[in-house]
């Protein structure tokens, strides 16, 4: 039921009484005033959904200008409130003028009770809808701010990183498609978030999609959405990632993992900036900033027929290569200190320090897992360390083999350990995924982790 609160403003008290008799049974609260100068205080003291406003208050004046004046005053202070104007001296020109200035409707005296009631209920429903839209917009903005607030910022000052950041600053304000390349764990997503944060779309959301984790059967539904009944489990309409990222940034991570036949569908959406939800024939336009990332050699994949050349050209307007951690010099120590601060707080082991010898060990290591591996290494040292000073032996670094001789002289145990460590890194610490990729159970994986001291 509609219900709602109604304010009646008319200099004729008989009119107010008649309207109150008509409205009281239909609405939550009805109040009448004969002096329009009381409108501001009345609207402040009570939340009204509808104002029934007379257009003429002074004797002998029938222009309707008084009503228009108070209409503008009401809409200026309460833009969502519905105002229905009522007058005995109506004409088409005045009605059009009133509607243009924000009136919800225009009723002539004498009125028909049924028509006036229907008009009042519709006007109140319009007010409810406007409030709901306003609340949704506020909620949406709050969610956007919350999503964008929880950011990790890029740490370091090495020349290699500064070169990347210089490129980021140059391209961020544009809408150019960007591809971020680099090894696993180098922080490609952080670079993407920095591009979004520095862009003109920073007040909108950045939507991330791990293309390697999207199954082929759900690809279209995930990216483009679906309508109710599009497939067996489609019980309601659902927006896809493209639609969710509208006005913001769409980040397609691990794009090199996308199968060849799905690349054509992605290309069409990127190229046309429009798509159709699965099960629908309605085209939806979209305005996105596209950023992609990969650790693969896409030009080589093009040569091997594994990646579409036209898709590569479409996503690769600007390429940003993120350097591996081993090339960033003292950034290793800066990052280590940052992670140390984070994990000493998390595990309540305040005051821990890394001594000089341990820092030298960290600097000499090649970090094949890059920043992600450094983070795990620091966390493990904080958890297992027994003293307030972390020494070289507190940091468990895996041996990095290089060259054919090393590969050929690995024991079976060393090969298995290396394979497990590599898979855990690839799966970003997700033990269930790592176990699945290795073809063993999760419990077996934990047993081997314990056996090898990983």
pLDDT along the chain (454 residues), means of 10: 88 92 94 93 92 80 79 89 83 76 87 91 91 74 58 86 96 96 94 94 90 88 90 85 92 94 94 92 93 95 95 95 95 96 94 95 94 95 92 84 47 78 80 82 82 77
Our measurement of the distance from residue 358's CA atom to the centroid of its chain's CA atoms, rounded to an integer in Å, reads 40
Instruction: Please report whether residue 159 resides in a domain.
Output: no
> Are residues 203 and 120 located together in one domain of the fold?
no
Q: Where among 106, 132, 158 does a domain terminate?
A: 132
Q: What is the CATH number of the domain that holds 12?
A: 3.40.50.2300
Please indicate, yes or no, if residue 274 is contained in any of the structural domains: yes
Could you tell me the strand order of the sheet in which 249-253 lies? 206-210, 249-253, 289-294, 178-181, 318-321
In a domain, residue 161? The reply is no
State the CATH number of the domain containing residue 202: 3.40.50.300
Please check whether residues 315 and 202 belong to one and the same domain.
Answer: yes
Residue 434 burial by Cβ neighbours in a 10 Å radius (0-12, 13-18, 19+): buried
Beta carbons within 8 Å of 441's beta carbon, 6+ residues apart: 435
Q: What is the CATH number of the domain that holds 433?
A: 1.10.10.60
pLDDT at 96: 77
Q: Are residues 358 and 434 in the same domain?
A: no
Q: Looking at residue 405, what is its pLDDT? A: 37
pLDDT given at position 146: 53
Q: Could you tell me if 356 and 446 lie in one domain?
A: no
- If asked whether residues 251 and 301 sit together in one domain, one would say yes
Is 265 contained in some domain?
yes
Inside any domain, residue 59 = yes
Would you say residue 143 lies in a domain?
A: no
Residue 153 counted as domain residue: no
Same domain? For 392 and 407 the reply is no
Q: Given 82, 113, 132, which residue is the final one in a domain?
A: 132
Q: Are residues 383 and 408 in the same domain?
A: no
Count the alpha carbons within 13 Å of 68 in the hemisphere toward its beta carbon.
Answer: 14
- 49 shares its domain with 9: yes
Domain stop point among 322, 352, 379:
322
Q: What is the pLDDT of residues 219-250, one digit of tens each?
A: 999 999 998 888 888 888 888 999 989 999 99
Regarding whether 240 and 213 lie in a shared domain, the answer is yes
- The verdict on 212 and 271 lying in the same domain is yes
Domain containing 388 — which CATH number?
A: 1.10.8.60
pTM of whole model > 0.75? no
Give yes or no: residues 318 and 353 share one domain: no
Q: What is the tally of structural domains in the chain?
A: 4
Tokens at 83, concatenated: 């105002």
Residue-range definition of the domain harbouring residue 385 = 324-397
Nearest to 336, CA basis, from 380, 289, 298, 305: 380
According to the model, what pLDDT value does residue 404 have? 41
383: exposed, middle or buried (Cβ count in 10 Å: 0-12, 13-18, 19+): exposed
Which residues contact residue 425 at a Cβ distance below 8 angstroms, ignoring those fewer than 6 apart? Answer: 184, 185, 368, 369, 372, 373
Residues 100 and 178 in one domain: no
| 378 in any annotated domain | yes
């Amino acid at each position: 039921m509609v219900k709602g609160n109604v304010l009646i403003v008319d200099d004729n008290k008989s009119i107010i009484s008649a309207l109150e008799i008509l409205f009281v049974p239909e609405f939550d609260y009805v109040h009448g005033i004969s002096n329009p100068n009381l409108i501001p205080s009345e609207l402040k003291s009570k939340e009204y959904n509808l104002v029934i406003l007379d257009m003429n208050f002074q004797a002998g004046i029938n222009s309707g200008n008084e009503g228009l004046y108070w209409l503008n005053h009401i809409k200026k202070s309460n833009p969502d409130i519905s105002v229905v104007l009522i007058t005995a001296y109506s004409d088409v020109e005045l009605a059009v003028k009133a509607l243009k200035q924000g009136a919800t409707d225009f009723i002539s005296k004498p009125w028909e009770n049924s028509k006036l009631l229907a008009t009042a209920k519709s006007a109140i429903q319009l007010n409810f809808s406007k409030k709901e839209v306003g609340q949704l917009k506020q909620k949406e903005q709050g969610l956007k701010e919350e999503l964008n607030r929880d950011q990790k910022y890029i740490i370091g000052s090495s020349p290699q990183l500064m070169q990347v950041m210089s490129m980021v600053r140059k391209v961020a304000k544009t809408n150019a498609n960007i591809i971020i390349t680099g090894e696993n764990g180098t922080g490609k997503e952080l670079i993407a978030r920095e591009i979004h944060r520095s862009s003109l779309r920073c007040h909108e959301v950045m939507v991330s999609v791990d293309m390697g984790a999207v199954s082929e059967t759900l690809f279209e539904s995930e990216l483009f959405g679906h309508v109710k009944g599009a497939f067996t489990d489609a019980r309601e309409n659902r927006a896809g990632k493209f639609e969710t990222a509208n006005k913001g940034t769409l980040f397609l991570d691990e794009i090199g993992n996308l199968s060849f036949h799905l690349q054509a569908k992605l290309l069409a959406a990127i190229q046309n900036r429009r798509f159709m939800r699965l099960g629908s024939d309605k085209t939806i336009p979209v305005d996105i900033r596209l950023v992609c990332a990969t650790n693969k050699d896409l030009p080589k994949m093009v040569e091997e027929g594994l990646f579409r050349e036209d898709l590569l050209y479409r996503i690769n307007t600007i390429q940003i290569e993120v350097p591996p951690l081993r090339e960033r010099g003292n950034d290793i120590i800066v990052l280590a200190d940052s992670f140390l601060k984070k994990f000493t707080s998390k595990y309540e082991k305040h005051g821990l320090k890394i001594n000089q010898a341990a820092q030298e060990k960290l600097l000499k290591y090649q970090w094949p897992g890059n920043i992600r591996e450094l983070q795990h290494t620091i966390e493990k040292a904080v958890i297992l360390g027994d003293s307030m000073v972390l020494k070289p032996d507190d940091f468990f670094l895996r041996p990095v083999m290089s060259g054919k001789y090393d590969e050929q002289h690995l024991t079976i145990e060393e090969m298995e350990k290396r394979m497990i460590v590599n898979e855990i890194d690839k799966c970003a610490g997700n033990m269930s995924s790592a176990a699945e990729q290795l073809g063993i159970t999760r419990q077996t994986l934990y047993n081997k982790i314990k056996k090898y001291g990983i």
